[in-house]
C-alpha cells in the first residue's frame, strides 16, 4: 500500500504543483513559506520540497549545501554568502521577483539557515563523538578535572587516579577506561550539565547515591551507538 502511494505521488505530485502554480501564481516553496507558521512545520515543508525537486539546479544546490554543512563550512562570514547564493538560485529557478516577495526571501533564507545549520551541528557532534578520550591530552584532562570541581566544589580531588571517581558514576579508579561509544562527546555533555545547571546537576548526583534507587551519574560515558548495542 505504501509503495503504491509513493508511485502515485511520484506521478501526481508534479501535476498538483503545476495546477496550484497556475491558480495561485505561487510556487510550492512560496506557498509553504506563506502558508505555514514560522517554525518546524515551515522548515520541514521547505526541506521536503527541495529534496523532492526534479529541477537540476535545485538538486545541485541541495548537494552543494549538504557538502558545505557536512564539512562544517556553514559558519561565520561564509554563512551569509551561502544563504544569499542559495536564495538567489531559487529565485532564478522559480522566477520569483524578490522586490515583490520580500517576505518570502526572508522566510526562505531562515529555513535554509535552520536546515543546513542543523545538518552541520549533527556533523560536528558526530565528529566529537569519534574523538577518543586521551589521558595524554592536556585539554581532555583539564575538562575531566573541571567536571569534578563543578560537582564537588568543596571536596577537591587529591589524586588523578582515585576510587573517588566512583562517587560520580565511573566504574574504576581511572575514568578514561569508561569512555566507549560516546567518546569525548560524553564528557562535553556532562561538563556542560554540571557547569550550566549546577542546581539540577547537584540534585541528580545526590539522588544517584540513593541506597535503593541509585544509579551511575556518569552513565553518559557508557552509552554506545545504536549500531553497537
Dist CA 183 CA 223 (whole Å): 9
pLDDT band (50, 70, 90) for residue 226: very low
Kindly state the cell numbers that stand for 66: 549538504
Q: Same domain, yes or no, for 157 and 179?
A: yes
Query: Of the candidates 129, 155, 177, which is a domain's last residue?
Result: 129
Q: Same domain, yes or no, for 50 and 153?
A: no
Q: Same domain, yes or no, for 125 and 200?
A: no
Domain that includes residue 75, residue range? 2-129
Q: Kindly state the greatest CA–CA separation across the chain.
A: 75
The whole-number pLDDT of residue 136 equals: 94
Q: Which of these ranges, 10-19, 26-35, 38-47, has the smallest mean pLDDT?
A: 10-19
Burial of 222 (C-beta count, 10 Å sphere; 0-12/13-18/19+): middle
Q: Same domain, yes or no, for 152 and 121?
A: no
Kindly state the cell numbers that stand for 100: 515583490
The whole-number pLDDT of residue 30 equals: 96
Number of domains in the chain: 2
Helix (H, G, I), strand (E, B) or coil at 88: helix
The whole-number pLDDT of residue 1 equals: 58
Q: Same domain, yes or no, for 68 and 146?
A: no
The whole-number pLDDT of residue 171 equals: 87
Higher per-residue confidence, 25 vs 19? 25
Tell me: pLDDT of 6 over 70.
no
The whole-number pLDDT of residue 40 equals: 95
Residues found in the chain: 229
Dist CA 193 CA 151 (whole Å): 10
Residue 181 and residue 190 in contact, taking contact as beta carbons nearer than 8 Å: no
Q: Same domain, yes or no, for 35 and 117?
A: yes
Q: How many angstroms separate the Cα of 54 from the Cα of each of 11, 13, 105, 120?
A: 12, 11, 21, 24
Residue 55 and residue 93 in contact, taking contact as beta carbons nearer than 8 Å: yes
Q: Same domain, yes or no, for 108 and 45?
A: yes
pLDDT band (50, 70, 90) for residue 214: confident
Q: Same domain, yes or no, for 26 and 75?
A: yes
Residue among 19, 16, 80 nearest 52 (CA): 16
Residue with cell 518546524: 40
Query: Of the candidates 129, 154, 185, which is a domain's last residue?
Result: 129
Kindly state the cell numbers that stand for 207: 539522588
Query: Of the candidates 73, 100, 129, which is a domain's last residue?
Result: 129
Q: Same domain, yes or no, for 151 and 214?
A: yes
Tell me: pLDDT of 225 over 60.
no
Q: What is the pLDDT of residues 46-57, one digit of tens each?
A: 999 999 999 999
Q: What is the pLDDT of residues 93-139, one digit of tens each?
A: 999 999 999 999 999 999 999 999 999 999 999 999 999 999 999 99
Q: Same domain, yes or no, for 122 and 160?
A: no
Kindly state the cell numbers that stand for 200: 539540577
Backbone φ and ψ for 71, nearest 5 degrees, come out as -100, 10
Q: Same domain, yes or no, for 24 and 45?
A: yes
The whole-number pLDDT of residue 216 equals: 86
**Chain mean position to CA 208:** 29
Q: Same domain, yes or no, for 143 and 201?
A: yes
Q: Which helix (H) or strand (E) holds 125?
A: helix 102-129
Q: In whole numbers, what is the pLDDT of the chain averaged over residues? A: 89
Residue 218 and residue 168 in contact, taking contact as beta carbons nearer than 8 Å: yes
Q: What is the pLDDT of residues 150-163, one digit of tens each?
A: 999 999 998 999 99
Amino acid at each position: 500500500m505504501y509503495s503504491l502511494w509513493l508511485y502515485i505521488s511520484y506521478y501526481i505530485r508534479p501535476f498538483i504543483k503545476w495546477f496550484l502554480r497556475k491558480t495561485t501564481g505561487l510556487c510550492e516553496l512560496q506557498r509553504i513559506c506563506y502558508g505555514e507558521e514560522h517554525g518546524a512545520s515551515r522548515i520541514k515543508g521547505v526541506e521536503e520540497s527541495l529534496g523532492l525537486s526534479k529541477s537540476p539546479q535545485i538538486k545541485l544546490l541541495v548537494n552543494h549545501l549538504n557538502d558545505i554543512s557536512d564539512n562544517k563550512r556553514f559558519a561565520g562570514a561564509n554563512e551569509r554568502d551561502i544563504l544569499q547564493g542559495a536564495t538567489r538560485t531559487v529565485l532564478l529557478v522559480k522566477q520569483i521577483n524578490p522586490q515583490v516577495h520580500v517576505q518570502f526571501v526572508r522566510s526562505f533564507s531562515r529555513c535554509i539557515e535552520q536546515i543546513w545549520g542543523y545538518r552541520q551541528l549533527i556533523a560536528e557532534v558526530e565528529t566529537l563523538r569519534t574523538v577518543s578520550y586521551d589521558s595524554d591530552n592536556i585539554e581532555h584532562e583539564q575538562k575531566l578535572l573541571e567536571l569534578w570541581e563543578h560537582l564537588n566544589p568543596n571536596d577537591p580531588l587529591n589524586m588523578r587516579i582515585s576510587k573517588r571517581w566512583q562517587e560520580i558514576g565511573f566504574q574504576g579508579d581511572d575514568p578514561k577506561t569508561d569512555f566507549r561509544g560516546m567518546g569525548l562527546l560524553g564528557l562535553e555533555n556532562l561538563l556542560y550539565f554540571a557547569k550550566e545547571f549546577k542546581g539540577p546537576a547537584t540534585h541528580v548526583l545526590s539522588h544517584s547515591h540513593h541506597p535503593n534507587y541509585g544509579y551511575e551519574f556518569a552513565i553518559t560515558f557508557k552509552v554506545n551507538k545504536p549500531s553497537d548495542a
